[in-house]
């Protein structure tokens, strides 16, 4: 069973409003439920979904500030303490590739990884990352491990 097989319960199946079908329809004959005159009563009227009836729209009221650099490289941080914790609990081995980090749930598909030096590490590891901090490099090398850098695409 999946979402395409689900059916709504019987009381939820309402008939659509049939407007413009004469006086006997219960939806008003001549105004068709649209009231008298005005822009919304005309045929062909379409309203932008953000239109607020002439009131200053929300997207113009909210203050805008800062700068968003569309060329920024976003990294997913992984700490040395987290690596040590995952090794102690058997979720990672001493040789760690990007696939190992992905299978452990630390990163997602296509993420760029930066190794950070928060936490202690005593295990000598060989790890593949895209970037790392100086403190992380020092901690890994002091523990007898190595860091291999992968070139960003």
Q: Which residues pair with 114 in a beta bridge?
A: 77, 131
Going by C-alpha positions, the residue among 96, 138, 91, 103 that lies closest to residue 118 is: 138
Q: Which residues pair with 132 in a beta bridge?
A: 115
SS3 at position 71: coil
Q: Domains of the chain by range and CATH?
A: 16-65 (no CATH), 75-149 (3.100.10.10)
pLDDT tens, residue by residue, 69-78? 999 999 999 9
Please state which of the ranges 19-23, 58-62, 72-76 shows the lowest mean pLDDT: 19-23
Predicted structure pTM score: 0.60
Widest CA span in the chain: 87
Residue 153 has pLDDT above 70, yes or no: no
The dihedrals phi and psi of 42, each to the nearest 5 degrees, come to -80, 155
Q: Alpha-carbon distance 136 to 121, whole Å? A: 9
């Amino acid at each position: 069973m999946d979402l395409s097989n689900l059916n709504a319960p019987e009381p939820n199946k309402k008939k659509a409003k049939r407007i413009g079908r004469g006086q006997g329809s219960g939806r008003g004959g001549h105004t068709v439920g649209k009231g008298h005159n005005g822009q919304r009563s005309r045929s062909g009227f379409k309203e932008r979904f953000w239109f607020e009836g002439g009131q200053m729209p929300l997207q113009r009221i909210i203050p805008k500030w800062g700068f968003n650099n569309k060329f920024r490289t976003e990294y997913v941080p992984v700490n040395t303490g987290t690596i040590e914790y995952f090794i102690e609990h058997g979720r990672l081995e001493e040789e760690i590739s990007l696939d190992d980090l992905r299978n452990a749930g630390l990163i997602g598909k296509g993420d760029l990884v930066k190794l950070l030096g928060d936490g202690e590490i005593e295990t000598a590891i060989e790890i593949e990352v895209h970037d790392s901090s100086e403190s992380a490099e020092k901690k890994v090398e002091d523990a007898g491990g190595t860091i291999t850098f992968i070139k960003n695409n």
